[in-house]
Amino acid sequence: MRQRSGGEQYYEPFRYYVRNKNYTLYLIGICVIVFFLQTLIHPFTYYFVLSGSNLYARPWTLVTHIFLHGNMGHLFFNMLFLFFFGPVLERRVGSDKFLFIFLFCGLLGGLGHVLTSPDSAVLGASGALYGVLGTLVILEPDMLIFVYFLPMKITHAVVLLAAFDILMSGSGDMIAHTAHLSGLLGGLLIGRYLKQGSVKKRSF
């Protein structure tokens, strides 16, 4: 993380990957391997995707659905997001906490989808990624990111993304907007908890 004039921060992910061991690359690797298994083994997705109708019979799908993806584009953009934002949060909170945030918010995203759309299946890491984004917006609110090549503070980007998901909920566009919002909410709450803990430590 470097400092720009005016207090804005930006991040160099490649330098982090060279210098640090991290869980971000492991998660990316798992998602890529799982996608190839989905492609090679026809019933693989069926047994690990999450839906309200199979949750009681297959409770593990609350976690396994996070690592499944619908197509190559879905996988690519989710992993690109994780590649750039995962190391930022992992360095900020530590690898163990980062992994917890990723899995917890992914699970929360799945639950949010099941509760609002019990008859449809959900797969993908988007809920977990929104949790990463939500935690970052609390811990690093001045971080500068690029949205469709436009620079903006992460705070403004999250507001726009949340507004879009709220407006598009129930649209039937095959995107799990409720999972996004549920994961984001989890990340915001975790970020607030971590920030309060950091403030208390500095006050002593």
| Mean pLDDT, the chain, integer | 88
**Structure confidence by residue, pLDDT tens digits, 18-64:** 455 689 999 999 999 999 999 999 899 999 999 998 899 999 999 99
**Backbone φ and ψ of 145, nearest 5°:** -130, 170
As assigned by CATH, the class of the 2-203 domain is mainly alpha
Q: Can you give the pTM of this predicted structure?
A: 0.86
Domain coordinates of the chain in residue numbers?
2-203
**Structure confidence by residue, pLDDT tens digits, 70-103:** 999 999 999 999 999 999 999 999 999 999 999 9
**102 touches 131 (CB < 8 A):** yes
Which pLDDT score, from 0 to 100, does residue 13 have?
Answer: 55
CA separation, residue 106 to residues 136, 190, 199 (Å): 16, 13, 27
Which pLDDT score, from 0 to 100, does residue 147 have?
Answer: 78
